[in-house]
Amino acid sequence: MAELAIPGRLIEISGRGANARLSTATSLLRQAQVEGETSAWIQAEQGALYPPDLAAAGIDLEALVVLHLPTDQGARDLLRATEWLLRSGAYGVIVVDLSGIRAPRGQAWCARLVALAREHKVRLILITDTQAHQSSLGPLVGLRIAGHRSPPLAGQCSLNVHVLRNKSGGPLRVLPESWRTPVGLEG
């Protein structure tokens, strides 16, 4: 799996359809929990987060704060909650699922979140449904990745992560990962 790298970094996980965005985010979240980081996940009320799959993937659910928010105002409520969690300084990693939600125009919101992430040494992961060949959220994205899941075979899947942008300047270690096929993908 991809390294989380330095705190204060904005990581965008891109892709559309069944491309393993949530699996990639889950893998990064598990890595952060193993490193002792506190974690939060923010998503729309009807988000795709499925706790039994998270538990099966090794996520400590009791140590994960999950916020389900209305999206009447698009991504604004999700981003406002993200800003509050960043300001608290209580989290080492925050995952925000923006799938199916249009991010606000302009880069002011992104600059504010990145500044807070740097100030409080938080790794901020934004899940988007933009395809790899489309533009990212903007120039402040330090790492942009896309995950691809292999078809289920004998109850196992593998996750391969492709680095689309890495502004750290250094090499990034990306290892394939295998896990039990989630319920609903078995076949």
**Per-residue pLDDT tens digits for 162-185:** 777 877 766 555 555 665 655 554
Contacts of 21 (CB under 8 A, 6+ apart): 13, 14, 15, 99, 127, 128, 129, 146, 147
Q: How large is the average pLDDT for residues 52-73? A: 88
On whether the CB atoms of residues 186 and 63 are closer than 8 A, the answer is no
Q: What is the CA radius of gyration of the chain?
A: 15
Q: 154 in the Ramachandran plot: left (φ > 0), alpha (ψ -120 to 50) or beta? A: left
Contacts of 44 (CB under 8 A, 6+ apart): 68, 69, 70, 71, 78, 97, 100, 101
How do beta strands 143-149 and 10-14 pair? parallel
Which of 64-78, 85-99, 101-115, 119-133 is the most confident on average? Answer: 85-99
Phi, psi at residue 122, to the nearest 5°? -110, 140
Helix segments in the chain, DSSP class H: 21-34, 51-56, 76-88, 108-120
Confidence of residue 1 (pLDDT cuts 50, 70, 90): very low
**CATH superfamily of this structure's domain 10-166:** P-loop containing nucleotide triphosphate hydrolases (3.40.50.300)
On whether the CB atoms of residues 73 and 104 are closer than 8 A, the answer is no
Q: How far apart are the first and last CA of the chain?
A: 25
State pTM to two decimals: 0.84
Residue 65 tokens, joined: 């704060």
Sheet holding 64-69, edge to edge: 64-69, 39-44, 93-97, 123-127, 10-14, 143-149, 156-166, 177-180
> How large a percentage of the chain has pLDDT more than 90?
30
